[in-house]
Amino acid sequence: MTDKSIVVALDYDNKADALTFIDKLDPNMCRLKIGKEMFTLFDPQLVKDIHNRDFDLFLDLKFHDIPNTVAKAVAAAAELGVWMTNVHASGGLTMMQAAKKALQPYGKDAPLLIAVTVLTSMSDEDLALLGINVPAFEHVLRLAKLTHQAGLDGVVCSAQEAKLLKSSFGKDFTLVTPGIRPAGSDAGDQHRVMTPPQAIAAGSDYLVIGRPITQAADPLAALTAIHQSLQLS
């Protein structure tokens, strides 16, 4: 089955368990993502272990720091040969421009560089507590505009904002959407959610899906069922 729009968020605290799961997958079935937990626990060797298995890897470290530091971090991600990496758009225009510039020497081998807008776990009420008194979609739009201006490849957003962002920035602006929940599954700490078929219909390019797959009794069956739901949509 080939639908590489699915990016499985690994988020395992045990490397052997993660690799056992990965070894059941075909790199044509999905891409993989590791984030702060796994990178901190298992270091760049994990990136090499995943690349040795021929998967495209999204290194989701959400860099957020001064421009010089973020530029160096993004270049370090490029050295690892990852398919995609990211920064926080709220780090600002200058920071994102510095990150983009740091990838110039890598040419066509540079990873895709995207920016996180508003975390999918956040509601309008969470934003209000930060003094951001607009609905989440408006703040996402603001941050996506800044990201587009900085020349990045796209954003992380909720699939709920995908239609708005595709109509604002065009089809080539890549939308990576976590907060994906198959119908009937537990939302957990995610707030702005959509099902896989809804997300694709809304314009998401990549669906980031973690616990509904990795915490399922049979993760491979859960991934296969999501593939099937997309083919029926």
For residue 18, what are the CA distances in angstroms to 50, 97, 162? 10, 34, 30
> Is residue 91 near ligand LLZGTKA7 by the rule CB under 6 A?
no
Residue 71: strand, helix, or coil: helix
* Closest alpha carbon to 68 in 56, 78, 76: 76
* Closest alpha carbon to 178 in 214, 151, 205, 153: 205
Among 85, 120, 160, 204, binds ligand LLZGTKA7 (CB under 6 A): 120
Residue in the block written with tokens 């809804």? 198
Among 201, 211, 219, 224, binds ligand LLZGTKA7 (CB under 6 A): 211
CB of 105 to ligand LLZGTKA7, least distance (A): 27
Per the annotation, the verdict on 100 as an active-site residue is no
* Closest alpha carbon to 84 in 195, 202, 205: 205
Tell me if 177 is assigned to a ligand binding site: no
Among 8, 35, 153, 194, binds ligand LLZGTKA7 (CB under 6 A): 35
Alpha carbon 9 to chain centroid, angstroms: 8
Q: Which is nearer to ligand LLZGTKA7, 97 or 185 (CB)?
A: 185
Cα–Cα distance measured from residue 84 to residue 86, given in angstroms and rounded to the nearest whole number: 7
The dihedral of CA 172, 150, 101, 47: what is its sign? negative
Question: Quick one: which H or E segment has residue 172?
Answer: none
Q: Which residues inside 100-119 make contact with ligand LLZGTKA7, applying CB under 6 A?
A: 116, 119
Q: Which is nearer to ligand LLZGTKA7, 105 or 221 (CB)?
A: 221
Among 92, 111, 178, 196, binds ligand LLZGTKA7 (CB under 6 A): 178
Tell me if 55 is assigned to a ligand binding site: no
Cα–Cα distance measured from residue 137 to residue 157, given in angstroms and rounded to the nearest whole number: 9
CB of 107 to ligand LLZGTKA7, least distance (A): 27
Closest-CB residue for ligand LLZGTKA7?
210
Contact 77/61 with Cβ under 8 angstroms? yes
Q: How many residues bind ligand LLZGTKA7 (CB under 6 A)?
A: 15
Tell me if 43 is assigned to a ligand binding site: no
Cα–Cα distance measured from residue 179 to residue 202, given in angstroms and rounded to the nearest whole number: 14
Q: Which residue in 4, 24, 36, 62 is the catalytic one?
A: 62
Among 61, 143, 208, 223, binds ligand LLZGTKA7 (CB under 6 A): 208
**Active-site residue numbers?**
62
Please give the residue ranges that form the binding site for ligand LLZGTKA7 (CB under 6 A): 9, 11, 35, 116, 119-120, 156, 178-179, 188, 190, 208-211
